[in-house]
Structure 1
Amino acid sequence: MDDLDQKILAALAADSSTSTSRLGRRFKVARSTVQARIERMERSGVIAGYTVKLGQAMSVRRVRATVLIGAESRAQAAIVARLKAMPEVEALHTTMGRMAMIVQIAADSTEMLDEVLDRIGQVPGITETDSMIHLSTKFDRAT
């Protein structure tokens, strides 16, 4: 990846809906050059996909929680598959230590959050959970 690829990637990471024409004007190259670079980065796996980032109006209404999960080691792959199928699960990380995984979830209400936590607790192979409901976000470097 050269400097132009890095610039295109950074621009798309900030706003994936930016048109190739706009990127071409910004970086003083042809639109077709930008398009070819993006397609090459997609084929090589540098760009894995595009997504929607919820705005403040939508994310403020969601109830978020972090769930620490203890699991039987032989069941971890099946647990990951089951949790991946739950749309409320935003991210899952494996860990070292007493707990096997950290799961980030979001729901539209505390009632829905409670139901999601119940479904997580019923997944075969999960031995324990410890849930922490997020109250407010003081800062988030990922956004």
Structure 2
Amino acid sequence: MDETDRNLISALRHDARASLSDLAAMLEVSRTTVRARIERLKQAGEIVGFTVVLRGDAARDPVRGLMMIGIEGRGTDRIIRQINGLSAVRAVHTTNGRWDLIVEIGTDTLEAFDVILGQIRKFDGIASSETSLLLNTRKSGG
């Protein structure tokens, strides 16, 4: 992947519906080049799909946050299964460093968010946690 491919992907992340002509002008290449590069990136598995974000999806979770979790012992797989069973959990990431897991949570209210935090903190094997509310998302989607 070269600089033109990276710039093309960046442009598509900003507006996946941009016309080939607009993308070509932005990248200072031909429409044929843009079309061929998109096709090649799809065939190589670099681009795996396109999606639509609806207004309802964006407004779905007015209260969002990240919960960092430290786990004692060897219960990580069990704890991940328990966390994945909660409807307010949007993603679970394993990580290195101080925290073992980072959990993305989304709810309708602060009260509901607090309930989910309480449920997770009660899981056997969770030694510590720290939670940060997400105030604003400046860029999303990779």
- Measured against the shorter chain, the TM-score band is 0.5 to 0.7
Partner in structure 1 of residue 34 of structure 2: 34
User: How high is the TM-score relative to the length of structure 2?
Assistant: 0.63
Alpha carbons of structure 1 residues 3 and 69: separation in structure 2 relative to 1, 3 Å: closer
Equivalence for 1:94: 95
Residues matched between the structures, number: 136
Residues of 2 paired with 1:87 and 1:50: CA distance?
25
Compared CA separation, residues 11 and 88, structure 1 to 2 (3 A): same
* 1:28-55 deviation line (CA, Å, top 9, x unaligned): 4225x43332232233343344455687
Show the counterpart of 1:109: 109
Partner residue of 1:65?
A: 65
Gaps of 5+ in 2: none
Secondary structure, counterpart of 2:39 in structure 1: helix
| In structure 2, C-alpha distance between the alignment counterparts of 1:101 and 1:117, rounded to whole Å | 14
- Distance between the aligned counterparts of 2:115 and 2:77, measured in 1? 23
| Displacement of 1:142 | 4.0
- Are the equivalent residues in 2 in contact too, given 1:70–1:126 (CA < 8 A)? yes
How well do the aligned residues superpose, as a CA RMSD in angstroms?
3.6
- TM-score, with length taken from structure 1: 0.63
**Identical aligned pairs, as a percentage?**
30
User: Is the alpha carbon distance of 1:131 and 1:5 closer, same or farther for their aligned partners in structure 2, counting shifts above 3 Å?
Assistant: closer
Tell me the CA shift for residue 113 of structure 1: 1.3
